[in-house]
Structure 1
Amino acid sequence: MFTAAWIASPQSPSEGFMPNWSREGFWRQSLRQVVRLSAGGGRLRVRLSHAYGSSPVRVAGASVGRTAAGAAVAPGSLTRLTFAGSGPAEIPARGEIVSDEVPLPVGAGESVTVTLYFDAATGPATFHAQAFATGYRGQGDRSADAGGAGFDAASESWYFLSAVEVDADRTDAVALFGDSVTDGFGSTPDANRRWSDALTARTKRPVLNAGIGGNLLLNDSAWYGDRGVGRLRRDVLDRPGVDTLVVLLGLNDIGFSETDEQPTYKPAPVLEAAELIAGHRELIRQGRAAGLRVLGCTLLPFAGSDHWGEHAAKVSHELNEWIRCSGEYDAVVDLNRALADPADPDRLHPSYDFGDHLHPNDAGYEVMAEVVSPHLQDTA
């Protein structure tokens, strides 16, 4: 039995506000990507997604191994990946493929490196924009290279890779579902200091990060992924081993109408609390229908940010009070009060502020994990 040990939510190829390789894709190049697992096992397999592709993508070679430094793989751990018994494989347009399982003992908190070689032009690549981890690109087939010297370009996005699963016999994974705060914006790159990483260190359960920077609860975006109520099944409910869903979503629906900085909607929809509450109820409905326990998080304080304004203040207060008091979630995690500045409860505490008054820093993400962990009972 396999359970998800790491996931990334697929996004449509786009440049957005950060440079990446998704629009140009890959040709006669190897792509090496590092991910940190939240569960261990003796065997693993990987999932590759081309959810936003209009034509198949050929993977001419693939491998996985334990991560060393940079683009290098630990000596003796590099293992060839096959798909349905074959080395080369095609990811179908708007589909995914799963590799055959391979023997590679790994532990929770350990990182693995996945290498993909594309001998034909991929076209625009399904990807996850904000990895906060460095990936590498090199010319030619380097899937069998343990060393990292041939990888001469770097990117902080993940491409095609959507999950790593291990043969752990457990069904107690926790999925964090949200926007850039869940994705880890403001955390130290390559340091694994996101909220999900901090929570992995505090609980014995697998913790999966289904955040997308800029994501909205109610509207699709060309830059920030499918709306939350539409992507929940693909990104969480269909993942093996999940039994708890933690929701932190809605701030961008509120805040994008207050700023001209976001390349999403001009003008952005101006929403009321009742609309967002309906969206949260839909997430609760979907989660419970799949047999999951569903926890709701209050939105973090964000006064002083570019998302703040008179209407945003009103709607965020109303939504947070509904999350706290309605009793519709199985449990409530009051992140708003935990990270607030006592001198001004609408603002992030200065000790937890990344600097934009919107996103936590590493210390803030640790507090988030500390607050939610009592709501998660360890089962291992």
Structure 2
Amino acid sequence: MFAAAWTASPQLPSEGFTPNWSREGFWRQSLRQVVRLTAGGERVRVRFSNAYGNSPVRVAAGAVAAGGSAVRLTFEGAAEGEMPARGELVSDAVQLAVEAGESVVVTLYFDTATGPATFHAQAFTTSYRGDGCLLGGEGFTESSESWYFLSAVETDSGRTDGIALFGDSVTDGFGSTPGADRRWSDALASRTGRAVLNAGIGGNLLLNDSAWYGERGVGRFGRDVLQLAGVDTVVVLLGLNDIGFSETDEQPTYKPAPVVSAGEIVAGYRELIRQAGELTVIGATLLPFGGSDHWGERAAKVSHEVNEWVRCSGEFDGVVDLNRVMADPGDSDRLHPAYDFGDHLHPHDEGYGVMADAVVRCL
């Protein structure tokens, strides 16, 4: 049985946080992307998303490589495939032995114009582009810090105990060391030996869509979590941007940012719990964010109310109190200085490790 070993949540093409190729797409070019698996196996298959494409995207050729071995991808037995408009393309399974913690390289060649590319804005690792068909791995001349079209890598691990982390930039890994795989999803995978699937999108909101930061959480949950093969647990850490975006006028990408109440956030959590069905749903309290650009009197009040509901309602199957674990002992509204990336909002590598440890204790 195939199960997800790595995932990235698709986003609408946009300018993103850093320069990227999503709006221009690809034409007579190859794309090389590197991802780190959290489960091993003897066979691999790859999923590509064209969720935000208005026309089909032709993949002229593809390959996947790991540990010095490379295998050409096929699609229903053919060397080329097509991602349907607003759909996905799944490769055939290929023989390629991989281990948990190993990186795999996925290379695609597009011989016709793709148009704007469904992508994941913040990869915190490097992707590469070059002219012509470069499946051999040489000739890439440009780099980007995003993933394009690539949405999942699955292995024949047969495991059914995968954990999905559903959230915003904290889950996505903002503040971790780029290229080092030090997100809290990576840390949790290394501590548990289970597949851990990252379903975070930087800037994502629980209740409202954003052209920059993805579909609202209650809308994308089915695609980004429930459709993942082999998952039995989801950790929900989302809602801080709903509360905090309305506190600043300095970031135009935060707009529109409706002012939301604790009750509305709670209603969003209840909708996720309802959608999750038989999955184990662990609620995480929102991290302290005092002193950040998300902080304000109203944000403080609403976040305190939301966290108290998560702790005490009994509606989640389990609770991990990240707010208390990550708080400054001298000021519980602020992120502990030893874990703070520097913006009083995101942890760094060590802080993400502490978050992973806290989840391990409640599994």
TM-score by length of 1: 0.94
The question of whether the paired residues in 1 share the 8 Å contact of 2:245 and 2:255 is answered with no
- Could you give the per-residue CA deviations for residues 273-301 of structure 1, whole angstroms, max 9, x where no partner exists? 000000000011111x2x20000000000
Alignment of 1:44-193 (within 5 A): 44-66=44-66, 74-75=67-68, 77-143=69-135, 145=136, 147-148=137-138, 150-193=139-182
Distance in 2 between the 1:16 and 1:201 partners? 30
CA contact (8 A) 2:17 2:122 kept: no
Give the letter for the 2:73 counterpart: L
Deviation at 1:375, TM superposition (A): 2.1
Determine whether 1:361 maps to 2:353. no
Inter-partner Cα distance in structure 2 for 1:31 and 1:23: 15
Q: Residue in 2 aligned with 1:71?
A: none
Alpha-carbon offset, residue 217 of structure 1: 0.1
Separation in structure 2 between the aligned mates of residue 347 and residue 265 of structure 1, nearest angstrom: 22
Give the secondary structure class of the aligned counterpart of 1:301.
Answer: coil
CA distance in 2, matches of 1:265, 1:189: 24
Query: For each residue in 1:27-69, what CA deviation from the matched residue of structure 2 results, as whole angstroms up to 9, or x when unmatched?
Result: 0000000000000000000000000000000100000001xxx
Q: Give the counterpart letter for 2:232 in structure 1.
A: D
Counterpart Cα distance in 2 of 1:210 and 1:227: 12
Moved over 4 A (4+): none
Tell whether 2:290 aligns with 1:303: yes
Contact 1:16/1:263 (CA < 8 Å) preserved in 2?
no
In the alignment, the residues of structure 2 paired with residue 142 and residue 79 of structure 1 have an alpha-carbon distance, to the nearest angstrom, of 14
Supply the AA of the counterpart residue of 1:21: W
- Aligned residues: CA RMSD: 0.9
Quote the residue 2:262 is aligned against.
273
Q: How far apart, CA to CA, are the structure 2 residues paired with 1:223 and 1:64?
A: 30
Deviation at 1:266, TM superposition (A): 3.6
Residues paired across the two proteins, number? 363
* Partners of 1:36 and 1:111 within 8 A in 2: yes
Secondary structure of residue in 1 paired with 2:252: coil
> Contact 2:31–2:109 at 8 Å: present in 1 too?
yes
Could you tell me whether the CA contact under 8 Å between 1:64 and 1:80 is conserved in 2?
yes
5 Å-filtered alignment, 1:190-205, equals 190-205=179-194
1:165-197 per-residue CA deviation (whole Å, 9 max, x = no partner) reads: 000111110000000000000000000000000
Equivalent residue letter for 1:307: H
Identity of aligned residues (%): 75
Question: How far apart are the structure 1 equivalents of 2:317 and 2:279?
Answer: 10
Pair 82,62 (structure 1): closer, same or farther in 2 beyond 3 Å: same
Match of 2:324 in 1: 337
Determine helix, strand or coil for the equivalent of 1:354: coil
Identify if the C-alpha distance between structure 1 residues 17 and 261 changes in structure 2 by more than 3 Å, giving closer, same or farther.
farther
Aligned equivalents of 1:102, 1:373: Cα separation in 2: 33
Which ranges in structure 1 are unaligned for 5 or more consecutive residues? 67-73
Q: How far does residue 157 in structure 1 lie from its aligned partner after superposition? A: 0.3
Structure 2: any 5+ residue segments left out of the alignment?
Answer: none
Residues in 2 aligned to 1:261 and 1:78: alpha-carbon distance in whole angstroms: 47
Q: Which amino acid aligns with 1:225?
A: G
**Structure 1 equivalent of residue 5 of structure 2:** 5
Distance 2:284 2:254 in 1: 26
One-letter identity of the residue aligned with 2:10:
P
For residues 45 and 248 of structure 1, the distance between their equivalents in structure 2, rounded to whole angstroms, comes to: 29
8 A contact 1:174–1:243 mirrored in 2: yes
User: What is the Cα deviation at residue 268 of structure 1?
Assistant: 1.5
253-262 or 109-118, which deviates more? 253-262
The amino acid across from 1:192 in the alignment is D
Q: Which amino acid aligns with 2:15?
A: E
